[in-house]
Each structure stands twice: as structure tokens, then as C-alpha cells.
Structure 1
Amino acid sequence: MPHSCHRPCLDHFDVNIKAVFNVTQSLLPRLRDGASIVNVSSIASTRSFGGHTAYSATKAALDSLTKSLALELGPRKIRVNSVNPTVVLTKMGADNWSDPAKSGPLLAHIPLNRFCEVQEVVDATGYLLSSKSSFVNGHHILLEGGYAVS
């Protein structure tokens, strides 16, 4: 791993896995039986992208945490799932991926030929938090426009 990765790698770990673990652990005593937890992961948890080693590794760890918590919290009827988008067009996402030289190669692998909109993440999260997904536990909803099948 490049030596310049040290601090950014730790930042990814702190934000993408450690913070989720700590917040979940803190909130668990307050969660009612039957609650639902939705983690925000990424398609990068299952697909490799150049220059994203630490990000991908921490999102894979988050997916593993999601599955483990689903198993452990199931007896309390607490469901744990994640949404796993590609690039989401937040301001930061749009700023970072507006250059066609950067976005073009990724978009070429997405059959819908676009990135994920914020509302699509909100809608999937809302579904997973609702009673409409009452038998969905330990899953990762891919929000990637078909990238995984291309």
C-alpha cells in the first residue's frame, strides 16, 4: 500500500466502520424490539476501483457488520440492512465526478448510464425502515443502475 495512504486510510476506517460501530453500540440499548437499522455502504464494497483501496475495504467491513448485526439482533426483531449505491449526486459527488474523463469509464459500465440521485437513496432507505420490508434482514440493496450485471 502506498505510504501516502496512511492518514486517508485511517480517516476512511474512522468514518466508514468505526463510527457506525460505535453509534450502533451506543444506540442499541435504546432501540425498541422491532426497530430497523439501515447502513449506507457502497457498490465499492463488492467491486474494486483503482485508487479506492481503503474506501472499498471499509465499505466491505460495513457490509460484514450489517450481516453480523442482522444475525445477532434478529431475536429482538431488529432488522439490519444497507443501501449500496454507486456515485450519489450530492454536491460532493457531482463535484468529484463532473469531469467526463473521470466519470466516463464508470458510466460506461452502468447500463442506465447515470449516477444515483439522492432521492433514490432516500427511497430505498425509507423502504428498509418501513414495515413493507418486514422480512428483509441482512441484505444490501444495490443502487447502481445495473453496474453489477454489466
Structure 2
Amino acid sequence: MNGLQGKTALVTGASRGIGRDIARRLAADGALVAVHYGSSEAAAHDTVARIEKDGGRAFPVPAELGVPGDVETLFERLDRALLENGEEPAVDILVNNAGTSGSASVAEVTPELFDRLVAVNTKAPLFLVQHGLKRLRHGGRVINITSAAARVAFPESIAYAMTKGAVETLTRALAKDLGPRGVTVNSVAPGFVATDMNARRWSTPEGEAALASFSVFNRVGRPSDVADIVAFLASDASRWVTGQCIDATGGSML
């Protein structure tokens, strides 16, 4: 598939898990992919290597999110890398995938955990869009990865769920604001997916069976399940879809 040929995509948190599969799928569809990572340098380079082995184009962009100057640093490095790759400093597709988790009930959550979750999961996507606006081409795509935790009660991770709910609100506001530029803004809400973020939940047969039971397909989600939905939203086929949250839970808790 070459539906994204000539497009440039920035995928945050693309060194592992869902982000890695998103980066690989967008590259397979023809996009030049900026593989952002925070601390997992080796994993990011492995993602780039896999993309190049499959015939795609990609390069790594390091920048820790959730710290002062994070977004400015990311875009400075992105612009430089694009120029080094013979491309103008512009983006067609921004996938806000990077995130951090933290389990804590209302009785357990601390201000420090709350601030960290907000900084990475909510503040970073907002300002990534803000700083990316001058680089985002007409007809571009913004895709935010949220969570089913924003739609159903998830008291054991209350602050995490709050941050993802905020991003769904951000999605709708941006969709209306950026519509005149032909930019679509949507979010994708995964359920339980087999990544290292959820490893403690699914790494045993009993745990995997328990998580699989939530879905009508009786299995745990795969990163590629989410990546395929993102690829649709990044493509021209989704041009009439904006301000929406796509459920990517495999029919969990219907």
C-alpha cells in the first residue's frame, strides 16, 4: 500500500508497543516516519531498522516528554532530522501516542503521580499540536491515542483515566478549530493490549484469560489492531471523519 507516499508522520512514543506498530504500518503505507522516543534509544533504533528492512523510511527523534522545554526540544530535533533527510520541516500526520501509566485509587493517588500523568498524557499532546501547527500541512491528520479508561469506570487508575478523558475533549475542540485547514482530528481508544505497559496483567495464562474475557472475540488486543485503525485515520479514506473517538477494544464490555 502506498496511500501515504510523500507524507511525513511523527509518531510519539514509537520505540515500543502500540507506537512501534503504528510507525511500522504508516511506513509500510508509504510515509516517512519520525520515530520519537523518550529514553529507549536502542528500541527506537530497532524500530527504524525494522522499517528500513521492510523497505520503508524512518529516523529516530529523541526527546523526553513531561519536562520543561520538551516540545521545543522535540521539534528542533525533528526539523533538523528532516532537513538531513532532504525534506522540508513539515508534517502531514501527528500521532500523539506517547503516554505513561500509574495505578492508584482516589485514596492512593499522590500529587506527584497526578502531575506526571498530566504532563505526559495531556499537556504534551496539547503543546505538540500547538507547536506543530506551523509545520502541519493543509489536509493533515492529528490522531490521539486515548484509552477505554476514559469511557468506563476505572477507579484503580483514576488519574490516568482523567488524563485520557481530557485528551478526548481536546480532540473534539481541535477538530472544530482545525477544520477550516482541512485537518482532521480523531482519537483511538484501545482496551487491553499486549504491550509491556500491561505486562503485569497479561503475562500469565490466568491473567491473559481474564483480560481476554472482556472482548467479544475472547482475546487480548494486539498493537497491530490499533495501528490498522490509525492507518485508516491517517489516510484520505477518513477525510469525512473528524472529532471522533474510535473504540478499539474488540467490543469489550458491550
The normalised TM-score by structure 1 is 0.89
Q: Percent identity?
A: 35
* 2:213 aligned partner: 108
String of CA shifts for 1:109-130, please: whole Å, max 9, x gaps. Answer: 3211222111111111110000
Structure 1 103/133 Cα, relative in aligned 2: closer, same or farther at 3 Å?
same
Distance 1:67 1:27 in 2: 18
Aligned counterparts, 1:30-109, within 5 A: 30-99=135-204, 104-109=209-214
Distance 1:12 1:81 in 2: 21
Q: CA RMSD in A?
A: 1.8
1:86 maps to amino acid:
G
The structure richer in strand per residue is 2
Q: How many residues align?
A: 149
The question of whether the paired residues in 1 share the 8 Å contact of 2:192 and 2:211 is answered with no
The question of whether the paired residues in 1 share the 8 Å contact of 2:122 and 2:164 is answered with yes
Distance 2:221 2:229 in 1: 11
The question of whether the paired residues in 1 share the 8 Å contact of 2:140 and 2:184 is answered with yes
Among 219, 237, 241, the residue aligned to 1:132: 237
Asked if 1:143 corresponds to 2:248, the answer is yes
**Regions of 4+ moved over 6 Å:** none
The question of whether the paired residues in 1 share the 8 Å contact of 2:209 and 2:219 is answered with no
Q: Matched residue of 1:109: which SS?
A: coil
Structure 1 131/148 Cα, relative in aligned 2: closer, same or farther at 3 Å?
farther
Structure 1 65/148 Cα, relative in aligned 2: closer, same or farther at 3 Å?
farther
The question of whether the paired residues in 1 share the 8 Å contact of 2:213 and 2:219 is answered with no
Asked if 1:23 corresponds to 2:128, the answer is yes
The structure richer in helix per residue is 1
1:53 maps to amino acid:
I
Distance 2:216 2:205 in 1: 17
Q: Matched residue of 2:123: which SS?
A: helix
String of CA shifts for 1:6-44, please: whole Å, max 9, x gaps. Answer: 222211111110010111111011111110110110111
Q: Which runs of 5+ in 2 are unaligned?
A: 1-105
1:37 maps to amino acid:
V
Q: Which runs of 5+ in 1 are unaligned?
A: none
